[in-house]
Amino acid sequence: MKLVILLGAPGAGKGTQAPVLSDHLGVPFLGSGDLLRAAVAARTPLGTAADRYMSRGQLVPDATIVDIFLERLAADDARNGAVLDGFPRTRGQAEALDRALAERGKRVDLALYIDVPVDDLVARMASRRICAAKGHVYNIASNPPRMTGICDIDGSPLVQRTDDLEETVRARMSQQIPPLEDVMEHYRATGALRTVDGRRSIDEVSAALIAALEVGAAEAS
């Protein structure tokens, strides 16, 4: 079983790279938000438990989130492993996941961190524009539309989300980076952490992540 965790701050490119790793390994990509929503929609016992917290605006307990991931990892398509994104978010979650996996004779094989400086992340996200009609995504710095402010696909206006305003992005970074650093330290201590320079092109980052996977596999053999 190959269990890989993809780490990075908001805007680092996890959502772009996770499917690449999933395809390379032939295992599913499991995002925490998608898993929670699916469990709630399916009205599984764990989903119902999670929904009780979410409906009150409370955080879902670590034990419940871990159990939702473990339940998904027990599915046939995940028998050879999975790529996890969005979990664990805290050292406590990482420790809880490790304990639960150890009880099943499994472990996190690699934690791949996409490293991008905060100022670069802010610039990326503040440059993002969204098609008002269909949600097509552009970046005015790296992937601009042919006509300024207009979606290439349907001609709708492009807008900047409130979440992508510089002050909002910086506030979110200040909240999310400290716990991310704790998670990285946890996996550094276990020997699972590998770091990739996320400032390079998408293809170069993909190649570096795949190379890190192959080195990790060689070290484990």
Query: Which of 108, 112, 88 shows the shortest CA–CA distance to 14?
Result: 112
Catalytic choice (37, 91, 170, 172): 172
- How many Cα atoms are found within 13 Å in the side-chain-facing hemisphere of 142? 13
Percentages (nearest 5) of helix, strand, coil residues in the chain? 50, 15, 30
CB 43 within 8 A of CB 209: no
128 is catalytic: yes
Catalytic choice (72, 89, 124, 129): 89
The continuous run of DSSP H or E covering 38 comes out as: helix 32-41
Provide CB contacts within 8 A for 170, sequence distance 6+. Answer: 118, 122
Catalytic choice (14, 72, 129, 194): 14
Catalytic choice (72, 128, 129, 194): 128
89 is catalytic: yes
53-to-26, 58, 97, 121 alpha-carbon distances in Å: 34, 5, 20, 31
**Residue 68, SS3?**
helix
Catalytic choice (52, 104, 134, 161): 161
79 is catalytic: no
161 is catalytic: yes
Active site residues: 14, 89, 128, 161, 172
